[in-house]
Each structure stands twice: as C-alpha cells, then as structure tokens.
Structure 1
C-alpha cells in the first residue's frame, strides 16, 4: 500500500514539473471554426476612405468617412473603427465594433459602440458583404446592408418602422486605400 502512495506521489510530482513546459507550448488563439468564420470576412481588412451621407427630414450632411478593419487573436476576432470628419477636420462621428464567431450558437457576435450606445446585434455575412440590424424603438429597426467588392465598400442604413416604407438615412461610399497592421501592431514588448 505504501508503494502505491509513493508511486502516486512520483506521478503527481512529474505532472506538476511538466506543467510549465506544457503551458509554454504555443497555441493559436481561437478555435479553427472561429478563425475560419471570422477569416471569411477578411475582405473587409484594411483602410478605407470616402463619404458618409446622412439624410434626416429637411437636412442632408456629407462627412469624410474612414474605416479601418483588422484582426486580433490569431484572426478569431475582427475589430472595426469608423470615423466621420467635418470639412474642418473635426471628428463628428466615431464608432467601434467587435466581431467574432460563437461556435456553440453557430452565429456571429457583433458588438457595436457608437453615439453613447452599445449593444450586441444580429450580423450576417452575405455573398458580397454583410448585413446587420438594431432596434430603433417600438416596432422599428435600423437595417444596414453593405456590399464590399472590387476595392469598394457601399453601405446603406434604412430606418424601418411597422406600417411605413423604409427610410434611407445613411449611405457610405468608400474605397480601399491600403493595408493596415492595426490593431495588431504596437503590442507591448516583454522586454523592458
């Protein structure tokens, strides 16, 4: 019996001694399914520039619009930042989104931050872009549809209320201007 306890102690010690070596093995971030699903949206990656035209009753505004899109965690998470600039160069609009794949639910997770609001909204990849939507009050939704192909990004947003025709309130027309190493570049070095 004593030999069994002694043998168990040696096995446990061996496992504990090996744990740091196992922990140091490089593992890619995210699962293969997460990297595959988020990677299917790599056509969005890069820096984009163009215009955003917003139309409200009796008023239209045109901003210089930029988007930058890149990945983190081995390509299993995509970050998106949009900025709208007035003619004087001041930032009039700034939005940020995090896109990932929920393997258990079999769907994209899309969390948006804009205008003091945040939420997680339905997101769907399409053959040539994406679509997403968010609630906009009782019996109303805002629906965004984007076509991203051949170096152009065309996105529209419609306010859709029950019993009313859809009302277009925003249109983005962007051109891809290049690659970006954002947000992965500039990581903190482990060296002092």
Structure 2
C-alpha cells in the first residue's frame, strides 16, 4: 500500500469519529429540548393502580391494572410499564413503552413492547393527558386517549376499522398511589478504586 493510500485511510479514520462527535449532544443526559419536551409528561410519574376492562368476543374481562412511570437519561426519556393481573394474581398483560422527543422532526416518539409485539406509534401530548394509536389488523387501529387529572388516570382504547362504527375495546381507571424512584433508582453506582 502506498504512503498516499495509508495517509488517506488514516485521515478518514480520524474524520469519521470527529464528525460523529460533532453530531452527538453535549450531555449524556440528552439535549435541553428533549428534557423540556419530556418534562411536559411529568404528571405521569409515579405508581398507579386500578382496573382495566377489556371487551372481547366472550364478553368483558376485568384486570387489576398497575402502571409505573419515570424519567431516565436525566429526564430526556420517560419509561412506562403496565401490568394487568387476574383475580388469582397471575399476570395477564405486561407492556413497556419508551417516550422520547425527536427535535429534528419536532414530534414525540413512542416505542411500545407488549405481548410479543413491538413498534413505533404516533403519540401526542394533549392539554390534560395524551393520545396514541396502534395498528389492529388490516384497515384497523386502536386509538387510545388518556386524561390524567387530580391523581386519576382514565384511558380508553377504541377499535376503529374501515366501514365499521368505532367501538370501545379497553378502559382503564387508575389512581396514583405514590411516588416511585423507578427506573432511575435501579442504577448501579461506580465502585471506588482500591
């Protein structure tokens, strides 16, 4: 390999990390815009408990529903975990979501994991809560609207399919039961050198 080729490769190896660093935020805790956007969702933080009623072909199923919500990465994202329990205490539903802010697109990101499925879905903060939706088969979706006010979280998921009237699919009524250090409290502190 010629000296000129070696120089070109070395210059490229140096330039790539420098350009990548220039695009990275100055803080490991995200940008001020991300933190400000996610602060709008601080009303969700804490532990919640109540009831979820799911309408299915065989009738209604009622679960004890819990949600826990908290900031991570210095408040630049919010993490949500939901669990639904049957009367015998067995877990019938478990989901997790990560809410973020995309400053370039000027919109929230909502990544959800539930029952073996995952995806990125439209999410919008409203005056008193939020709304989002997920696909539910060909030409169908479930549209969720949550109102969180005075320690109460009320969320309704409506099944919407082309050519059919919208029909309620799930309804959650939760009460805030307290603060939570989750998920940030699980961080492992570095050990001092000995």
TM-score by length of 2: 0.84
Aligned to 1:21: none
Please state if 1:164 is matched with 2:164: yes
State the 4+ residue runs in structure 1 displaced beyond 2 angstroms.
none
- Return the alpha-carbon distance in structure 1 between the equivalents of residues 170 and 136 of structure 2: 15
Aligned pairs for 1:89-100 (under 5 A) are 89-100=89-100
Q: Secondary structure at the match of 1:185?
A: helix
Structure 1 unmatched runs, 5+:
1-25
Note the C-alpha offset of 1:164: 0.6
**Aligned twin of 1:56:** 56
Question: How does 1:33-72 map onto structure 2 within 5 Å?
Answer: 33-72=33-72
Could you say which residue in structure 2 is the equivalent of 1:22? none
Which whole-Å deviations, capped at 9, do the CAs of 1:110-158 have from their partners, x for residues lacking one? Answer: 0000011000000000000000011112211110000001000000001
Give the Å deviation of 1:58.
3.2
Q: Structure 2 stretches of 5 or more lacking a match?
A: 1-25
CA RMSD in angstroms comes to 1.2
CA deviation map 1:20-50 (0-9, x unaligned): xxxxxx9461111100111101000000000
> Are 1:187 and 2:174 counterparts?
no
Q: Who is 1:81 aligned against? A: 81
- Cα distance in structure 1, aligned partners of 2:44 and 2:121: 19
Query: Any idea what SS the aligned residue of 1:54 has?
Result: strand
Equivalenced residues, count: 167
- Aligned partners of 1:112, 1:189: CA distance in 2, in Å? 28
Distance 1:60 1:141 in 2: 20
Give the Cα separation in 2 of the matches to 1:141 and 1:156.
Answer: 13
Query: Which structure's CA Rg is the greater one?
Result: 1
1:119 aligns with 119
TM-score, scaled to structure 1:
0.84
The residue aligned with 1:147 is: 147
Q: Which residue of 2 aligns with 1:3?
A: none
